[in-house]
């Protein structure tokens, strides 16, 4: 296990911004995670866990501690019965590769989350989701290194306190747990309609009436390819903003002025409103702000067109947030974490 010094974070994050990490290393076993953290703690160094860098924004001042790049491999069937298969996945596995392997096994539960960049260990942190599925639906448990107790623990689904793009790992227990593996329980049943609105519309448009895990995956990849720019070609973090969540009374007020506002019923009197739609209605779709372009196909996405630092991104973000708040009285939130 090698430790490197003064590594540019912009080379390891898909937005291609940020200063240097003082130290950086890769870990390939849970034991290396524990040893690296203990060593950092002994030297009073802060620690940041980095997966694929697709949901992280690096600041201009860099990171004064050690960045641990998660590379723990593993894909193992640990239980199998008539209706389901349970799989343990190493935190360093590429998420989309995991999805493809489960689809090839004809398992349902994560196929609609195809083509989401990043690693498997990062999936529970923000409770990733797409087209009606989220990791909370299938995650049975996970194993993590508890930095406070200096031991490995198994956390069950309910312990993670999942909600929309949220978990204890980015709220009440941020920084405490380093996820080393996740366990997913997937169904052997075929996917059944009705599907998430955008996916259902795709099937109707393409006259698709037979649904398999592979058909769902291919459809999602096609939709995402047309909506989301490839971060390898155009620096971005995918959806930069979370979709807005409003109460029923807020929605009633909004519909009075915007009767065509799109919504998704989340139950309990709460509704998801596409933030991309809000940004577009605020007149910002396709606009370039401080070198950051609001994607002309999906206003949720910010592309680093000519920004020179985090300050450019922050200024663009704040202008967008303020414009949406002024027009709709809704406070939208950034999705990527910051280092």
What is the rounded average pLDDT of the residues 2-16? Answer: 96
For residue 279, is pLDDT > 90? yes
Reported as a pLDDT band with limits 50, 70 and 90, residue 49 is very high
pLDDT at residue 281, rounded to an integer: 96
What is the rounded CA–CA span in Å between residue 53 and residue 15? 8
3-70: in CATH 3.30.43.10: yes
What is the rounded CA–CA span in Å between residue 155 and residue 50? 20
What is the rounded average pLDDT of the residues 171-194? Answer: 96
28 as an active site residue: the answer is no
What is the rounded CA–CA span in Å between residue 251 and residue 110? 30
pLDDT at residue 1, rounded to an integer: 78
What is the rounded CA–CA span in Å between residue 88 and residue 74? 7
For residue 268, is pLDDT > 90? no
What is the rounded CA–CA span in Å between residue 1 and residue 304? 33
Pick the CATH number of 75-187 from 1.10.3720.10, 3.30.465.10, 3.40.50.12660, 3.40.710.10: 3.30.465.10
Can you give the C-alpha Rg of the chain in angstroms?
A: 20
Share of residues in the chain with pLDDT > 90 (%): 95
Q: What ranges do the domains of the chain cover?
A: 3-70, 75-187, 236-338
| Angle (deg, nearest 10), helices 213-227 and 197-205 | 100
The CA-atom distances, in angstroms, between 244 and each of 124, 210, 250, 272, 323 are 20, 33, 11, 6, 14
Reported as a single tens digit per residue, the pLDDT across 13-45 is 999 999 999 999 999 999 999 999 999 999 999
For residue 256, is pLDDT > 90? yes
Residue of 26, 111, 134, 335 with catalytic role: 335
Per-chain mean pLDDT for the chain = 96
Reported as a single tens digit per residue, the pLDDT across 128-162 is 999 999 999 999 999 999 999 999 999 999 999 99
Reported as a pLDDT band with limits 50, 70 and 90, residue 266 is confident
What is the rounded CA–CA span in Å between residue 177 and residue 188? 31
Reported as a single tens digit per residue, the pLDDT across 112-122 is 999 999 999 99
pLDDT at residue 240, rounded to an integer: 96
What is the rounded CA–CA span in Å between residue 231 and residue 29? 28
Structure tokens at 128: 């990733």
| Beta-bridge mates of residue 130 | 133
pLDDT at residue 237, rounded to an integer: 95
Reported as a single tens digit per residue, the pLDDT across 303-313 is 999 999 999 99
Residue of 69, 165, 217, 317 with catalytic role: 165
Count of H helices and E strands in the chain?
A: 7, 20
Pick the CATH number of 236-338 from 3.90.78.10, 3.40.50.2020, 3.40.640.10, 3.30.930.10: 3.90.78.10
The CA-atom distances, in angstroms, between 1 and each of 36, 68, 144, 247, 316 are 9, 11, 20, 50, 39
Would you list the DSSP string of 22-69?
EEEEEE-SHHHHHHHHHHHHHTT--EEEESSSTTEE--TT-EEEEEEE
What is the rounded average pLDDT of the residues 97-104? Answer: 98
Contacts of 167 (CB under 8 A, 6+ apart): 124, 125, 126, 127, 160, 161
Residue of 54, 84, 114, 239 with catalytic role: 239
Return the biggest CA–CA distance within the chain. Answer: 61
What is the rounded CA–CA span in Å between residue 116 and residue 130? 8
Would you list the DSSP string of 290-319?
TTEEE-SS-TTEEEESS--SHHHHHHHHHH
Confidence (pTM):
0.91
- What is the DSSP-derived secondary structure letter of residue 163? B
Dihedral of the alpha carbons of 314, 13, 126, 214, in degrees to the nearest 10: 130
For residue 214, is pLDDT > 90? yes
214 as an active site residue: the answer is no
What is the rounded CA–CA span in Å between residue 12 and residue 8? 8
What is the rounded average pLDDT of the residues 238-261? Answer: 94
pLDDT at residue 267, rounded to an integer: 86
Among candidate residues 208, 214, 241, the one with its CA nearest the CA of residue 335:
241
CB 274 within 8 A of CB 260: no
What is the rounded CA–CA span in Å between residue 289 and residue 318? 10
111 as an active site residue: the answer is no
């Amino acid at each position: 296990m090698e430790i490197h010094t003064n590594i540019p974070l912009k080379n390891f994050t898909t937005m291609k911004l940020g200063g240097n990490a003082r130290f950086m290393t890769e870990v390939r076993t849970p034991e290396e995670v524990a040893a690296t953290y203990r060593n950092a703690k002994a030297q009073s160094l802060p620690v940041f866990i980095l997966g694929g860098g697709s949901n992280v924004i690096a600041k201009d001042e860099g990171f004064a501690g050690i960045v641990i790049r998660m590379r723990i491999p593993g894909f193992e069937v640990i239980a199998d019965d008539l209706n389901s298969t349970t799989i343990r996945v190493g935190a360093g596995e590429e998420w989309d590769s995991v999805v493809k392997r489960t689809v090839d096994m004809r398992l349902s539960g994560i196929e609609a989350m195809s083509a989401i960049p990043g690693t498997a260990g990062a999936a529970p942190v923000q409770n990733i989701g797409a087209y009606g599925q989220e990791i909370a639906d299938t995650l049975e448990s996970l194993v993590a290194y508890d930095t406070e107790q200096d031991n490995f623990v198994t956390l069950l689904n309910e312990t993670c306190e999942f909600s929309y793009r949220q978990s204890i790992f980015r709220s009440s227990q941020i920084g405490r747990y380093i996820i080393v593996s996740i366990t997913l329980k997937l169904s052997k049943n075929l996917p059944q309609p009705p599907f998430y609105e955008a996916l259902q519309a795709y099937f109707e448009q393409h006259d698709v009436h037979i649904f398999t895990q592979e058909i769902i995956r291919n459809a999602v990849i096609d939709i995402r390819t047309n909506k989301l720019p490839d971060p390898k070609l155009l620096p971005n973090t995918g959806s930069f903003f979370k979709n807005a969540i409003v109460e029923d009374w807020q929605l009633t007020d909004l519909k009075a002025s915007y009767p065509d506002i799109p919504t998704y019923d989340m139950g309990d009197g709460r509704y998801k409103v596409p933030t991309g739609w809000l940004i577009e209605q605020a007149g910002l779709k396709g606009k370039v702000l401080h070198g950051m372009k609001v994607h002309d196909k999906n206003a949720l996405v910010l592309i680093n067109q000519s920004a020179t630092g985090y300050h450019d991104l922050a200024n663009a973000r704040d202008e967008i947030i303020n414009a949406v708040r002024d027009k709709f009285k809704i406070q939208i939130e950034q999705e990527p974490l910051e280092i």
